[in-house]
Amino acid sequence: MHDIIQRAKSAVDQAELYWNRKHSISVNYANYRLQQVTEDDVSEVSLRVVADRKTGMSYAVFPDQEGLLESAIEGAKFGDPATFSFAGPGSYPKVASYDETTSKLSANDLIELCEGIKKRIQPHLPDVALNVGAQLETSELVIQTTEGADAASKTTSAAYFFGAPFKGAGIGVFKFDLSVEAPEVSDELIERFIEWYQWGNNSSTPSTGRLPVILAPEGSFLLLMPLLAGVVGDAVWKKTSPLTERLGEQILSEKLTVLDDPLRDKDPTARIFDDEGVPCKTQTLVDQGVLKQFVFDQRTAAATGGTSTGNGFKRALFGSGNETPITPWLACPVLQPGTTPFAEMVKDLDEGLLITNGMGFHSGNYPQGQFAVQAIGFHIVKGEVVGRLDKTMISGNIYQDFLKVRDLSAETGPVSGFLSTGHSPYVLVDGLQVAGK
């Protein structure tokens, strides 16, 4: 147990130490050229205390930094009454999240990986401005409390990305993946990148009106982020969530089952305990379209008379990390796949959209399930992709428009955009409002 927890025992009612250290190496190529090598070694801590039955917080770089405990006590003088106790001893699940070999990779290994990606793409797309990058991170997280929690985890994460803007355009195609072990870049991913890039050589504006839309895995945050905002405990507690009174009701299509699954082996975003030291677990949020449960951290659980579901995280729509206050958040949303090959979904559409990203999502009223975004992706006409979307907005409300989901693909991929974790298949929605020609 760290000294500061020992010291806190005599100074405050309760204390919780969160300590995190990250060592990362990354390399970046811009326009096919090696641009920069970055190596970071940073640590950060936060301390929460209950002093005189009130809560206070402070942050620093090292646990033994002067003023850490004193600042937290100072904050507690003004804090609201503590409504919960910090986590006690826990039994944490096991997940394969650390790989010794990966932790020893060097900048040279990452350069080799990126050179390999370059060599496989350059012959097909010699005159595009290809950006490639890879990052390796080893992170340690420790949470200790005066109540007896002593949680520790160690994770390796090896990630790569490659992407290029369409010629003369501001948008492009971007692919990435990450794993606990040294990544292998599949032929399928490279081929898909080349195919999609070539799809985007022309631009195309769809008709205005309701059109069927396929959300690619990377674009499925348009569904999952509003859903997250609806199931988190603070929105339920404050009744700002449109789902507050809808447990057990059909809120989405019966084709949709959504889990929060932090226990995926070899997924570097896996978590065995949350940022309050509460054990994580796999939970079904939506089962065949029926809302099954909400997620809580300790504070919102106490406020609503329940217990934490292990979903207290230092995350927010923008940013994450030490100074982000703990709030209920999904550890890793997973939309269960279907059986239809993606290529068949495209073939069946007379006119439709394939969406890879939605720009301006955060400025919409997404906590109520709504979105109105600039559509990034491709225009499909008579079963063929005819070009990248141009001058197109899509809008909708997930609790209305995702009641009618036609199909889910067998293929899955990582979610990106406004969600930093998650997995999804391609989702074909019956219709979204499109503002185009």
Partner 1 sequence: MKSTFAKVVSGLPATYADLRYEQNRKIRVVYEGKELSGVSTALTSGGHVRAYAEGGKAIASFSDPDRAESIAANTCAAAAQVGRSREKKLKLASAPVIEEDFLITPAKDPRTISLSEKIELATYYNSIILENPNVLTTQTVYDEFASRRIFVNSEGSVIEYELLNVGIFGMIVTKKGDVVQRVRFAFGGQEDFTPLIGREDALKKQIEKACALLDAEPAKAGIYPVVLDPSESGVFIHEAFGHLSEADGLQNNPSFRAKLQLGTELGKPILNVTDDPSIPGLPGTYIIDDEGVRGARTALITEGKLTGRMHSRETSAEFDEPLSGNMRAVDINFTPIVRMSNILIEKGDSTFDDMVSSIDNGYYLVGAKGGQTSGDQFTFGAQWGYKIENGRLAGMVRDINMSGELFSTLQATSMIGDDVEFGERGGCGKGGSGPMQMNRKSGKGSPHIKIDAVTIGGI
Give the integer Cα–Cα distance in Å for 32 and 131: 6
Q: Is 53 in the site for partner 1 (CB under 8 A)?
A: no
Give the integer Cα–Cα distance in Å for 49 and 88: 14
Q: Which two three-digit tokens encode residue 194?
A: 């080349």
Q: Is 145 in the site for partner 1 (CB under 8 A)?
A: no
Q: Is 356 in the site for partner 1 (CB under 8 A)?
A: no
Q: Is 60 in the site for partner 1 (CB under 8 A)?
A: yes
Cβ(380)–Cβ(389) below 8 Å: no
Q: Which two three-digit tokens encode residue 64?
A: 């033994």
Please report, for residues 54, 165, 250, 300, 363, the alpha-carbon distance to residue 360 in angstroms, rounded to integers and kept in the order given. Answer: 39, 19, 28, 29, 6
Q: Is 305 in the site for partner 1 (CB under 8 A)?
A: no
- Whichever of 283 and 308 has its CB closer to partner 1, that residue is 308
Residue selected from 2, 7, 11, 34 as contacting partner 1 according to rule CB under 8 A: 34
- Whichever of 308 and 412 has its CB closer to partner 1, that residue is 308
Instruction: Tell me how far, at minimum, the Cβ of 115 lies from partner 1, in Å.
Output: 9
Using CB under 8 A as the criterion, what x/- string covers residues 222-241 for binding partner 1?
------------x---xxx-
Q: Which residues are bridge partners to 19 per DSSP?
A: 45, 142
Closest Cα to residue 377, out of 211, 266, 160?
A: 211
Instruction: Tell me how far, at minimum, the Cβ of 72 lies from partner 1, in Å.
Output: 8
- Whichever of 399 and 426 has its CB closer to partner 1, that residue is 399
The residue count for binding partner 1 (CB under 8 A) is: 82
Give the integer Cα–Cα distance in Å for 78 and 92: 34
Residue 119: which residues within 8 A CB-CB, separation 6 or more? none
Give the integer Cα–Cα distance in Å for 84 and 74: 19
Q: Are strands 351-359 and 150-165 parallel, antiparallel or unpaired?
A: unpaired
Choose the stretch contacting partner 1; rule: CB under 8 A; options: 77-85, 213-221, 253-261, 348-356. Answer: 77-85
Q: Is 104 in the site for partner 1 (CB under 8 A)?
A: no
Q: Is 388 in the site for partner 1 (CB under 8 A)?
A: no
- Whichever of 247 and 255 has its CB closer to partner 1, that residue is 247
Q: Is 176 in the site for partner 1 (CB under 8 A)?
A: no
Instruction: Tell me how far, at minimum, the Cβ of 37 lies from partner 1, in Å.
Output: 4
Give the integer Cα–Cα distance in Å for 79 and 70: 14
Closest Cα to residue 164, out of 121, 216, 107, 119?
A: 121
Q: Is 119 in the site for partner 1 (CB under 8 A)?
A: no
Residue selected from 206, 242, 268, 422 as contacting partner 1 according to rule CB under 8 A: 242
- Whichever of 335 and 372 has its CB closer to partner 1, that residue is 372
- Whichever of 276 and 411 has its CB closer to partner 1, that residue is 276
Residue selected from 112, 191, 323, 344 as contacting partner 1 according to rule CB under 8 A: 323
**Which backbone phi and psi does 142 adopt, to 5 degrees?**
-130, 135
- Whichever of 20 and 283 has its CB closer to partner 1, that residue is 20
Residue selected from 216, 394, 398, 429 as contacting partner 1 according to rule CB under 8 A: 394
Give the integer Cα–Cα distance in Å for 243 and 411: 29
